[in-house]
Amino acid sequence: MDFSLFPHKRNGFEAPIRLVAIDMDGTLLPDFSTVVSDRNRRALREAQEAGIVVAIATGRRQAFTAPLLEGIGLRADTPLITSNGAVTRDFSGLRYDVTRLNPATARALCRVTEGLGLLVFTLDKATRPDLIVEDIARARGTLAKWVESNKHSIAVVKPIEDALGDEVDLIQGMAAGTIREMIEAEQRLKDCDFAGEFECIRTAYPGNDLSILDLLPKGVSKSSALARLAARLGFAQEETMAIGDNWNDETMLDWAGTGVLMGNATSELRMLAPERGWHVGPTNKEDGVAVMLERAMAVLAAAGSGRV
């Protein structure tokens, strides 16, 4: 057992992991797939049986996350941190936490990102449509596939600002397009006169020439949601582990007692790992999530037997 993967110690002993937050795309899921592998499925169930709280932490909204986890056998109280931390519910649908995006800020964001990629807003509602889009024609390649998968959840409104009234339950905006488009959009957002009123979190998929900017309420991230969840459950920071592969996982890996970057992350992120104290695990093709959960369970079992 490589105990060096879990560096936080209490009284000279390895601190067992009690809560683990796991990203979906590129982490729990293989590339270009929405099917969780058999080994990952088994490890998720076994971790829960061992007493570890398994939380899913994703940029996806709940309606696009929960169906991918059905049939795995996860407990109804499994926490789902969705929309990059804006909403936390459990698998049964019980809401723990939500932070809403100011509609006035959302309308201003429309003006700043105009002409660059596809702009989408997510609503916190159980009924469809819960996605608002202005110009579906801008969705090409991978984005076109996303639109097709979500077509029954999408309302097309032009101009999009007309759907963003003060009574709307907004939780997240998303600008998506080519790497070049989103570099320009990110710079515009940094330079706008209300930049302090929202969070802009980047996710990039260079192989697909796709980048996503998640536009979130101020202070919202996967890390802030994980911190609140740990406090709610009574777990110390050093008892947490986070596993992810992309830029929207960055602060979550920093916050967790043990941060694990997937081996399939970009070289830029992997280069940051030593200075940030992240461990680099196996890739998503190698069931990296299962490998890390199995090691966490071994540490927890050793702690229970007094061997650490």
How distant, in Å, are the alpha carbons of 59, 74, 220 from that of 247?
11, 27, 14
Reported confidence tier of residue 124, pLDDT bands at 50, 70, 90: confident
Residue found by looking up tokens 């819960």 in the block? 130
| Residue-wise pLDDT tens digits, 42-66 | 999 999 999 999 999 999 988 889 9
Average pLDDT of 250-272? 96
pLDDT recorded at residue 305? 58
pTM for this structure? 0.89
Domains with residue ranges and CATH for the chain: 3-98+221-305 (3.40.50.1000), 103-217 (3.30.1240.10)
Reported confidence tier of residue 12, pLDDT bands at 50, 70, 90: very low
8 A C-beta contact, residue 21 and residue 241: yes
| Residue-wise pLDDT tens digits, 173-203 | 999 999 999 999 999 999 999 999 999 999 8
Q: How far is CA 40 from the centre of its chain?
A: 17
The residue that leads in pLDDT, 135 or 271, is 271
pLDDT at 120 over 80: yes
Nearest to 105 by CA among 189, 202, 225: 189
